[in-house]
A = this chain, B = another copy of it.
Amino acid sequence: MFGVTILGNNSALPAFDRHPTAQVVTMDEHIFLIDCGEGTQMQMTKYKIRRSKISHIFISHLHGDHYFGLIGLITSMGLLGRIQELNLYAPTPLKELIDLQLKFADTQLPFQLHFHCLENEGVIMKDNKVEVSCFKVSHRIQCWGFCFKQIKPLRKIIPEKAKSFEIPSSFFDRLKWGEDYVNKDGTIIKNDLVTEPLPKGKLYAYSADTMYDESIVEKIRGADVLYHEATYLKDLEERAIKRFHSTAQQAATIAQKAFVKRLLVGHFSSKYETLEGFEQEAREVFSNSDLALEGVTYRI
């Protein structure tokens, strides 16, 4: 299962029971948190996300609606007796804040908090299941988008064929990654004789808070799902530019140019009590657009 659950879809001011930004990306045994606005830990309780399962947290930037809930979440993890390490990827100054908050509270966390400073674009975390990379976006302060790329074997073994060539099962893992087999007498069994191609790993792209900026297109190209902010509707495009945000139409234009498969829009301004306009405006440009709704899990 590879999916994203929205915990907060509003911009800076909480309103209409919409909360500041937070999302949980689930991929097999991994649970990643992206951004952590105020109240995220309560939203986790509401939507039955287990705090203890989160292994990595990614913070896009230091506007409060993206991180004011982080210190509360970390403190709660400590109070609950967490011992497994936690990895935090965030703009460098956040470390100073967390250290101060723990110091003033005279609190020592019972677990290792590994702080990874976001400084350069590229891969920031990788294991045998997933690769996470970050990219710069255009916002009023330094701000980062994230790509979550599923790592999957390239090939699926056809068991009866592998058997007929007497390939030992100990070699199957290497077959899955496309290797040919060489048997004892030197005969090469070409990989595609005993395997068939698998669909590629999927890609989720989170573009964070950004104004309309075509330079991100190459970073998110072909994503299975793109989350792009849409703080305003197109009639407030000038305000969007002034505040380094996007309109729903602009988000959809980026989705279209990047040939993504599906677009989710979020980070709605508290100016808007209802959200239909965002869906409608995005779909006019890119039909496979949806609202990122709190409590909903979207499959990647």
Q: A: which residues have CB within 8 A of B?
A: 12-15, 19, 38-39, 41-42, 45, 62-64, 68-69, 71-72, 75-76, 79-80, 91, 93-94, 96-97, 100-101, 104-106, 140-141
Is there contact, CB below 8 Å, between B80 and A75?
no
Residue of A39, A45, A79, A91 most packed against chain B (CB within 10 A): A39
CA distance A75 to B64 in the complex (A): 8
For residue A48, give the distance in angstroms from its CB to the closest CB of chain B: 14
CA distance A233 to B93 in the complex (A): 41
List 10 other contacts, CB 8 Å, given A14-B42, A63-B105, A93-B104.
A14-B41, A38-B42, A38-B69, A38-B72, A39-B39, A62-B101, A64-B71, A68-B68, A93-B100, A97-B100
Contacts of A96 in B (CB 8 A): 100
Is there contact, CB below 8 Å, between A64 and B100?
no
CA distance A104 to B59 in the complex (A): 13
Residue of A42, A69, A105, A141 most packed against chain B (CB within 10 A): A105
Count of identical protomers in the assembly = 2
CB-contact partner of A39 in B13, B42, B94, under 8 A: B42
Contacts of A100 in B (CB 8 A): 93, 96-97, 100
Is there contact, CB below 8 Å, between B104 and A13?
no
For residue A111, give the distance in angstroms from its CB to the closest CB of chain B: 16
CA distance A30 to B62 in the complex (A): 33
Is there contact, CB below 8 Å, between B105 and A64?
yes
CA distance A71 to B101 in the complex (A): 13
Is there contact, CB below 8 Å, between A62 and B104?
yes
CA distance A63 to B102 in the complex (A): 9
Specify the chain B residue showing the minimal Cβ separation from A74.
B64
Contacts of A42 in B (CB 8 A): 14, 19, 38-39
For residue A162, give the distance in angstroms from its CB to the closest CB of chain B: 53
Contacts of A94 in B (CB 8 A): 104
For residue A47, give the distance in angstroms from its CB to the closest CB of chain B: 14
Is there contact, CB below 8 Å, between B93 and A97?
no
Is there contact, CB below 8 Å, between B69 and A105?
no
Contacts of A64 in B (CB 8 A): 71-72, 75, 101, 105
CA distance A265 to B133 in the complex (A): 49
